[in-house]
Structure 1
């Protein structure tokens, strides 16, 4: 089976600093794959390099069997791969209505029947037609992230990149957004790559994960292995302990 996403020996360098050092990951079609690690480990850099928002200096990127270089100008790539960002307050243009935000990607990719697609996209993320002509500052954080998800889904991608999509939201809203994403993945048979510092979120959403440190992958393991503590790397064990919090001994 051809991988939905295949990365081999990817390197990214900024002003002499190597942010990614030979990362290799394969993600199967329809799989939810997690990437975890502490701040500065290279998680978001990897996601942005996949999305074409950062260049990559070395290695290869294959999406749905097609190879892409560090600079991507092929519109087909951006129909296949879409990204939802961490900050719902910064990722939506403040002077555009929801209608305009959803119409723009449809126009870029020459979609017809835009009216029906916009209505369907809003319905899919749990927002009715009453939200269509609101500005982003008139929406809550959870509503903004729903619009961001609708904008990513409206061009019918095969791969959805998620950069900590709930970390900027209140805890009560996080579960709603995660459940929405999971339902959408099942309905559309999407492939997810999700970055998070929260192992509980990754365990809930993903089937496998890669643990990153200092721009490289420390190890890959299944979520079931994580739950059973079948862990090979000390660093992964330390992350798991930290995620469970401190335990005060009596």
Structure 2
């Protein structure tokens, strides 16, 4: 099995506060890997460190056998690794049309064939060409998140970093977006790293997961183990109880 992302002994500090403390995870190419934990556990910081959005104090990050240095990632990294953020409104420019926002990454990376790529990306996320010239305020929350996903996919990456991608959406829309993401992963054979506080979402989407608390990984297990209750840490059991909507079996 090929390792897509390997994080070893990773520490992230903000002044005197350790947001991550010697964290290690390995994600296999093509799998969907979950990061779960209570608010402030470090799960989003870990995702942002991989993306170059959080300062690394110690440790190493390797993506597709390339060791990343500092916070600079370069264009080659962002061709293969894209991130979808929690807030679909905040991640889209309010004064730019969908068309402009999908063209931007192509222009930055010097990628041609924009017309075909835009139409393909919109179709892939279940939106037609009629959405091209709309503005974010003319879209629902679910539609905005679909545009954010289309923008992430348009460069044809191999890895998607997903930071609570449905938590800002109504419950009725969450399942649609999660099913879309799972379909895209299968079709494109993508690797996912997904942050969520909802264990129901993680067991639906992910093969394996790491449970985080206080900036450390306290347990690693498969989704099947979680659903079956084969759990080693009381903290993980508490998360199960706190995660509304979680169903065993």
Normalised-by-shorter TM-score class: over 0.9
Corresponding residue number in structure 2 for 1:52: 52
Q: Which residue of 2 aligns with 1:210?
A: 210
Q: Is the 8 Å Cα contact of residues 57 and 70 (structure 1) preserved in structure 2?
A: no
Partner secondary structure for residue 77 of structure 1: helix
Contact kept, 8 Å, 1:211 with 1:217, in 2: the verdict is yes
How far does the alpha carbon of each residue in 1:6-44 deviate from its partner, in whole angstroms, 9 at most, with x for none?
000111001111100011000000000001000000111
Give the aligned partner of residue 120 of structure 2. 120
Residue 83, structure 1, aligned to residue 83, structure 2: yes
Q: CA deviation at 1:205?
A: 0.3
Shift of 1:234: 1.4
Give yes or no for the alignment of 1:74 onto 2:88: no
Please tell me whether the aligned partners of residues 36 and 198 of structure 1 are also in contact (alpha carbons under 8 angstroms): yes
Partner of 1:149: 149
Residues paired across the two proteins, number: 246
- The answer to whether the Cα contact below 8 Å between 1:166 and 1:174 also exists between their aligned partners in 2 is yes
Residue in structure 1 matched with residue 9 of structure 2 by the alignment: 9
Q: Superposed, which structure 2 residues align to 1:47-196 within 5 Å? A: 47-196=47-196
Distance 1:243 1:139 in 2: 29
CA contact (8 A) 2:34 2:202 kept: yes
Which residue of structure 2 aligns with residue 235 of structure 1? 235
User: What's the CA shift string for 1:210-234, capped at 9, x where partnerless?
Assistant: 0000000001000011011111111
Q: Secondary structure at the match of 1:210?
A: strand
Matches of 2:242 and 2:9, distance apart in 1: 29
Which stretches in structure 1 are left out of the alignment for 5+ residues? 246-250
In the TM superposition, what whole-angstrom CA distance separates every residue of 1:128-169 from its partner, at most 9, and x where no partner exists? 111001111111000000000000000111110111100100
Give structure 2 stretches of 5+ with no counterpart.
none
- In 1, Cα distance between equivalents of 2:175 and 2:70: 35
- TM-score, with length taken from structure 2: 0.96
Aligned equivalents of 1:50, 1:113: Cα separation in 2: 29
Mapped to 2, the partners of 1:181 and 1:223 lie a distance apart of: 18
Q: Report the Cα distance in structure 2 between the residues aligned to 1:234 and 1:132, rounded to whole angstroms.
A: 49
1:186 Cα deviation after fit: 0.1
Aligned to 1:197: 197
